[in-house]
Chain A
Amino acid sequence: MTTILDPTDERVPVARQITPRTGDISGVIGLLDISKPRGNILLDELERLLAARYPDVETRRYAKPTFAKPCPTDLRLRIKSECSVLVEALAD
């Protein structure tokens, strides 16, 4: 992790880099629960649908310790090494 200081007038939020979308569903799909209430219910349903439609796809479940903080580096690196795609469930 490197921290830099914003050189702008800070009117615009810092844009996140978006990983290029893969365009298909294959390999290992990570399902990340950010630990907001009921995120697990959404992911349960998504996992069920994925299993029904893409039987060859493997899903793995992950959870952030708290939604209030960024994903810990260890967890992020683990997800990166284990998954080809990640779905993150955000909401209450």
Chain B
Amino acid sequence: MNATSLAFSLRDMTGEARTFPTGRPSLICFVKEDCNTCNLAAPVLEAFHRVWGDLADVWMLGQSADGNAILKDRHGLTLPILDDSALRTSLAWGFDIVPAVYWIGADGASRAPLEGFVRQEWEALAQQIAEELKAPGAPLAWADLPDWRPGCGSKHLDPDIHERLLAEAQGSPIRARRIEIASADDIDEFMFDQGFSDGLPVVPPTPERVLRMLSGTTRDPQDIVAVVPPNMAPATVEKIAINAVMAGCRPEYLPVVIAAVEAVCTDEFNMHGVTATTMGASPVLVVSGPIRHRIGMNMKLAALGNGNRANATIGRALRLVVRNLGGARPGGVDRSTLSSPMKFTMCFAEWEEGSPWDPLHVERGFQRDDSVVTAFAMTSGPVQIVDQESRKPDQIAGTLGLGLEGVFLSKIHHMPVDALLVVCPEHVRTLMSEGEYSKARLRERIQAVTSRPLREMVSNDISGAGISLASAAKMTEAQLAAPAPKFANDKFIHIVVAGSDAGKFSAAFHGWVTGAAGSAVVSRKIDC
């Protein structure tokens, strides 16, 4: 071991910087205050300092600033006590146990340290030092000291901080806790056992893969993107990247995952409520803008289903972030009665080029060139709306309305609940067959065809759901006859276009409790 490779500059208790190597022989001892053996060693070191201080530097390096002050007072120390509470020097010197004492002779070479206290070793070292310095021995009553005392684990090896120190020393951007899985263990089984998985295999998030994933964003790995409910855990870019690796994402998907985490972790989206509800709500992500093409998202054939890596893994990465960081697990905060396969993943892109309308993100106030992810809290979907016969625009619009009547329960109307309607290209063509058919007109048509007299919502023998008999009894005939559309307001009907050229099958996602008491739709621009 060469002293120059162990160079440090640390402050002593007077604030003076002490630099090693000093150019003189040195005795360097690492200690921590709450270690009994270090307290045994401190007066011995003090004796060394007093007898050899003119010829050699006898320094004690303490692992906490408060502890140093206590040690000084407790033992009346006059030797320099240096502050290594940052533990960087402890890490660099690489011992395991304190006290760890190093003698660096005039030749600058250091032997392996003495760790703990073995009287015979310390006494031999004292003799060696005296000989090398041609100085008298330390006036210590060695026989009064115990034969040996085990030391304590050095602070820099504390599992809570060791990896961070190591990463800092290596200049690595990674700060997450490293988990070592023995080669005899099955890594996939291990990750299942740890509860890291949604029930399907996950890709092991090795440091190499996470570093590659981090190359997908320019953001600092330690930036906190959001605080994830229900545990209110800070989600750093690095932690999101780890979960994105596990989900199977490619690095270029990472900005979408980050934006999605931002979106669902807002107060408006209310990820806690979405997780906890017995209705089994889950985020449904719609990606808009140029990034759809850049990362190869599917917006056409089978857009809402399996088979596309970006669609599948972006949605899954979000779910894993909420599960692993937020702690949202079925049976824990997730209390879904039945839940939904959307809790594995639900993400797709809008086929903006196949749509006659402004895409979703433009409708929501973004620029067409922006890439945006929009999160909806949905409890059901995609529910097919089948119409292969209608040839007139109003007929198709009417069908889409009737298809949406099933949100929650077809009987219930005037609902302040979001729905996401995914219109397939063939239905779009029929809608446009006689000219422009705006989204506003489609929403009006949906509301018109689903309008039913309020009377039909009153509890009856077929279904007790709806307006209670007691409430109905207080209503006038005119009130009961008033038509009630499915949705309390047109704004609850969200419309996008996706799907293959062939097939007259649209679909709808049904919402959860919408608004301040539940969840609002949230869009976030993707930083790319």
A92 touches B242 (CB 8 A): no
B187 touches A2 (CB 8 A): yes
A8 touches B178 (CB 8 A): no
A7 touches B242 (CB 8 A): yes
B97: chain A residues at CB < 8 Å are 68
The digit string for B137-166, where 1 denotes a CB below 8 A from any CB of A, is: 000000000001010010001000000000
The digit string for B191-216, where 1 denotes a CB below 8 A from any CB of A, is: 10110100000001111001000000
B174: chain A residues at CB < 8 Å are 5
B194 touches A70 (CB 8 A): no
Min CB gap A87→B, angstroms: 19
The digit string for A72-85, where 1 denotes a CB below 8 A from any CB of B, is: 01001100100000
A22: chain B residues at CB < 8 Å are none
Min CB gap B359→A, angstroms: 33
> Which of A6, A11, A66, A76 is B179 in contact with, Cβ under 8 Å?
A6
Number of interface residues of B (CB under 8 A): 41
CA distance A80 to B176 in the complex (A): 31
Residue of A nearest to B197 (CB): A7
A10: chain B residues at CB < 8 Å are 176-177
A4 touches B324 (CB 8 A): no
B325: chain A residues at CB < 8 Å are 7-9
A9 touches B193 (CB 8 A): no
A4 touches B327 (CB 8 A): no
Any chain B CB within 8 A of the CB of A52? no
B194 touches A15 (CB 8 A): yes
Residue of A nearest to B324 (CB): A7
Report B497-522 residues with CB < 8 Å from chain A CB: none
A15 touches B187 (CB 8 A): no
CA distance A1 to B181 in the complex (A): 6
> Which of B183, B231, B239, B324 is A2 in contact with, Cβ under 8 Å?
B183
A61: chain B residues at CB < 8 Å are none
B246 touches A2 (CB 8 A): no
B184: chain A residues at CB < 8 Å are 76-77, 80
B153 touches A36 (CB 8 A): no
> Which of B150, B177, B187 is A5 in contact with, Cβ under 8 Å?
B177
Min CB gap A8→B, angstroms: 5
CA distance A90 to B143 in the complex (A): 30
Min CB gap B429→A, angstroms: 45
Residue of B nearest to A17 (CB): B193
Any chain B CB within 8 A of the CB of A37? yes
- Additional 10 contacts, C-beta under 8 A, given A3-B181, A5-B205, A5-B242: A1-B180, A2-B181, A2-B204, A2-B206, A6-B242, A7-B320, A7-B325, A8-B196, A15-B194, A36-B150
Smallest CB-CB A-B distances: 8 pairs: A9-B233, A68-B96, A6-B177, A5-B176, A7-B324, A7-B242, A37-B150, A2-B181
Q: What are 25 inter-chain pairs, A to B, with CB distance below 8 A?
A: A1-B183, A2-B180, A2-B181, A3-B179, A3-B180, A3-B206, A4-B205, A5-B178, A5-B179, A7-B205, A7-B246, A7-B320, A8-B196, A8-B233, A10-B176, A10-B177, A11-B231, A14-B194, A15-B193, A68-B97, A68-B153, A73-B183, A76-B184, A80-B184, A92-B150
**A interface residues with partner B (beta carbon < 8 Å):** 1-11, 14-15, 17, 36-37, 66, 68-70, 73, 76-77, 80, 92
